[in-house]
Structure 1
Amino acid sequence: MKLASLKHGRDGRLHIVSSDLSRACPADDIAPTLQAALDDWAALQPKLQDRYDALQAGTAKSITFDPADCDAPLPRGYHWADGSAYVTHVELVRKARGAELPQSFWEDPLIYMGASDAFIGARDPIPVQDEAWGIDFEAEVVVVTDDVPAGVTPAQAAGHIKLIGLVNDVSLRNLIPAELGKQFGFYQSKPWTSFTPTLATPDELGDAWDGHRLHLPLYAIHNGTKVGSPNAGVDMVFDFPTLIAHCAKSRSLVAGTVIGSGTVSNVGSKDGSCCLAEVRCIETIEQGEAKTPFMSFGDRIEIYMRDADGNSIFGDIDQQVEAYTPPT
C-alpha cells in the first residue's frame, strides 16, 4: 500500500496511491489525514488496505496521480529524529578536517531531533535566503512508526515500522560549524526536509526490505548529473530497529515518528555520494582542497529509488532551489 497527502490546509488530505503511481483515490472518509491513520493504525490499516486492493483491481473511483499535487505525506509531524547510520560518511567528514573518528561512533548511534513542524512536498521549491550559507541536499531513507513504548528492544522495535520513504534533508553547510561549536546541535543549518510523494508499507518493497534495511540504490541527481547511487542496504552500521530502540531508550515515541537513516553512503564511495559535502570531503582528502561548489539558486535536485524492474517505488523528489526574500 502507498499513501500520499494531497495539498489541503496544513495537514493534507489522505489518498491511497496505486502501486505504479498512476492513480489515486481519496481515503479521508477512513482517516482525514495520514497522522489520523497512524494514530489508530491497527484499526484503520485493514480498511485502507481494502481500499488499496480495490484501487489495484480498478474498482475504486480514482483520479490521475500527480506528484505536483502532493504535500509531504506528513506535512506536520510530531517527531523527526535523524540518525547518522552510515558511519563511513561521518568518517569521511572528520578525515577531511584531519580529525580521528572516536571508536564510540561505531558502537552508539548519532541522532539529533530535527524540525518537523513544516515538512515540504517532493515538488516544492527549496527557499533559501543566501547562497553563501552553503546549500546542500542529503538523500536518506526514512521509516515512520506507530506508538513505540519506552524501553523497546531492537527486535521489538522492528514491528513498529509501518511506512517507508525517502527524504531530502536540506543542510546549510556553512552555518553548521558555528552551531556545532556551541555544542548544542543543529537548528538554523537544517531548514527544510522534503519527502517523496508517497510512503509505502513494508510489503510493497518485497525482498528489498528485510525488516531492518532497504537494499536498493538511492539516486541523487544534481542538475542532471548523477552524484551517486549508493546502496542503502550496504554499510548501514545501525539498522532502523536499532535507531528506533535508541530513540525510545528513555521515552516513548508517538505514532507518526519519523526516523531518518542519515546520508546514505557506501565505504569507498564506489557508487558516488548522496550529498555534496561528501563529494567535497573526498576532493579535500585526495586533492588537498574541495572543488565542487554547493548548490546555487535555480539548481535542481532529484532523489529517487527504483525497483528491480526500473520502476519508481515512492515517486521522485524533484526540486529547485529558489531565492527567498524576507518580509520588510
Structure 2
Amino acid sequence: MKLTTLKDGSRDGQLAVVSRDLKTVCIASDIAPTLQRALDDWNFIAPQLDELYGRLNAGRAPNSVDFDASQCMAPLPRAFQWADGSSYVNHVELVRKARQAEMPESFWHDPLMYQGGSDDFLGPQDDIELGSDEWGVDFESEIAVIIGDVPAGVKVQHAGEYIRLLMLVNDVSLRNLIPAELAKGFGFFQSKPASTFSPVAVTPDELGDAWRDGKVHLPLRSTWNGNLVGQPNAGVDMVFSFPQLITHLCKTRNARAGTIVGSGTVSNKDTSKGYSCIAEKRALEMIATGEAITSFMKFGDTIKIEMLDKQGKSIFGAIDQSLVEITRR
C-alpha cells in the first residue's frame, strides 16, 4: 500500500492512497482524515485503506485523479517524534578519519541517534529555504520508518512488528554550524533545519524481497544538479537494522504511533557507489590529498533523491528540491 498527504491548506493535509505505479491518487478522508489518524488506529483503518488501494490499482476507485507529487506534503507533515540514527558506521568512520579523530569502538555496537525537530517537515518538492549558503549546506539521503505504539524495553526480535511504513528522507545538515553546536555539549539544533520526506510512504510488503532483515536492499540514488553522485545499496553496510534502531530508541521509554526513525546517511564501503552526502565526498578527498575540494550546496542548486525497484520503477516517488535564499524577514 502507498499513502500520501495532499496539500489542502491545513497543517496536516489530507490523507490519500496512491496507485502502485504512482500514476493515480484517491482521497481517503472518508476512511481517515490524516495519516496520523490512521496510525492511531492502524489495525482497524489500514485494512480499509488497503481495500481502497486494491480498487485504485484495478482502476475501480471512485474519484481518482492523476497523481502530482508537487501537491504532496510530507506523508506526516508534523510528527510526535523524529529520531535519526546513524546505521552506516562507514560514513561516521570516514568523516572522523578525515579530521584525524579516532572512532570509539562502541560505535559498532551502540547506535548513534539524535532527536530532531518534528513540528515542521518539508514536502518532496518544497524549496530548502535558508538565510545563507555559507553555512555548509549538505543533503543527506536516508531511509526512514514510521512506527506504531512501541512499548519501552521492546526486544529486537519483536521491534520490526511495529514498523508501519517506509519513506525516503533528505536530512539537511548545515556542516559549518555543527562544530560550534556540538562543542556546547547539547547536540544539534540550528545546524539541523527542517527535514524533507518522499511524496509517498509505503508498507513494507511493497518492497517485496528487497525488504528483509529489517533493511531495504536497493540502491538509493542522489542526483545533485542533474548529476548522479551516489547510488549506494541501502541494505549493504547497514550495521544497525531498523528493528535495532527501534530497540535503541525504546530502551528507556515508549514510542508513540507516528514516531519516525531514520537510518542515517546511506553509505557503502565500496566508494565506486558514490555518496549520499557531500561531507562524505569531502572526507574522501581529505583522506586522499589532505584537502577537501568539493564545495557544499549553493543557492540555486538542486537535489533529487529516489529509489527504484528492480524493474527501474520509482517506489516512493522522488524528493526533488532547490536550495533558495529566504526572502521574508
Q: What do you get for the CA RMSD once the two structures are aligned?
A: 0.7
- Counterparts in 2 of 1:167-182, with a 5 A limit? 167-182=169-184
Displacement after TM superposition at 1:135 (Å) = 0.6
Q: Deviations over 1:265-311 (max 9, x none)?
A: 00142201100010001001101100000000010000000000000
Distance 2:88 2:301 in 1: 26
Distance 1:225 1:270 in 2: 15
Q: Secondary structure at the match of 2:91?
A: helix
Q: Deviations over 1:188-237 (max 9, x none)?
A: 00001001100000111100001510000000110011111000000000
1:103 aligned onto 2:77 = no
1:231 aligned onto 2:233 = yes
Distance 2:238 2:187 in 1: 23
- Counterparts in 2 of 1:25-44, with a 5 A limit? 25-44=26-45
Which residue of the partner structure matches residue 91 of structure 2?
A: 89
Aligned-partner residue type, residue 313 of structure 1 = I
Distance 1:107 1:242 in 2: 10
Distance 1:270 1:34 in 2: 38
Distance 1:231 1:120 in 2: 25
Which residue of the partner structure matches residue 188 of structure 1?
A: 190
Which residue of the partner structure matches residue 7 of structure 2?
A: 7
Aligned-partner residue type, residue 32 of structure 1 = P
Q: Kindly indicate whether the alpha-carbon contact (under 8 Å) linking 1:158 and 1:211 is maintained by their aligned counterparts in 2.
A: no
Runs of at least 5 residues in structure 2 that lack an aligned partner in the other structure: none
Q: Kindly indicate whether the alpha-carbon contact (under 8 Å) linking 1:6 and 1:69 is maintained by their aligned counterparts in 2.
A: yes
Which residue of the partner structure matches residue 316 of structure 1?
A: 318
Aligned-partner residue type, residue 293 of structure 1 = S
Which residue of the partner structure matches residue 266 of structure 1?
A: 268
Return structure 1 stretches of 4+ with deviation > 6 angstroms. Answer: none
Aligned residue pairs total 327
Aligned-partner residue type, residue 20 of structure 2 = S
- Counterparts in 2 of 1:1-328, with a 5 A limit? 1-8=1-8, 9-61=10-62, 62-327=64-329
Distance 2:212 2:137 in 1: 34
Distance 2:45 2:214 in 1: 24
Q: Kindly indicate whether the alpha-carbon contact (under 8 Å) linking 2:172 and 2:192 is maintained by their aligned counterparts in 1.
A: yes
Runs of at least 5 residues in structure 1 that lack an aligned partner in the other structure: none
Q: Kindly indicate whether the alpha-carbon contact (under 8 Å) linking 2:22 and 2:317 is maintained by their aligned counterparts in 1.
A: yes
Distance 2:270 2:48 in 1: 45
Q: Deviations over 1:143-164 (max 9, x none)?
A: 1101001110111101000101
Q: Secondary structure at the match of 2:134?
A: helix
TM-score (norm 1): 0.99
Q: Kindly indicate whether the alpha-carbon contact (under 8 Å) linking 2:215 and 2:235 is maintained by their aligned counterparts in 1.
A: yes
Distance 2:248 2:52 in 1: 35
Distance 1:116 1:238 in 2: 23
Displacement after TM superposition at 1:107 (Å) = 1.0
Q: Choose 266-275 or 216-225, whichever is displaced more.
A: 266-275
Aligned-partner residue type, residue 281 of structure 1 = A
Q: Kindly indicate whether the alpha-carbon contact (under 8 Å) linking 2:213 and 2:241 is maintained by their aligned counterparts in 1.
A: no
Q: Secondary structure at the match of 1:302?
A: strand
Q: Secondary structure at the match of 2:222?
A: strand
Distance 1:178 1:90 in 2: 18
Distance 1:88 1:64 in 2: 41
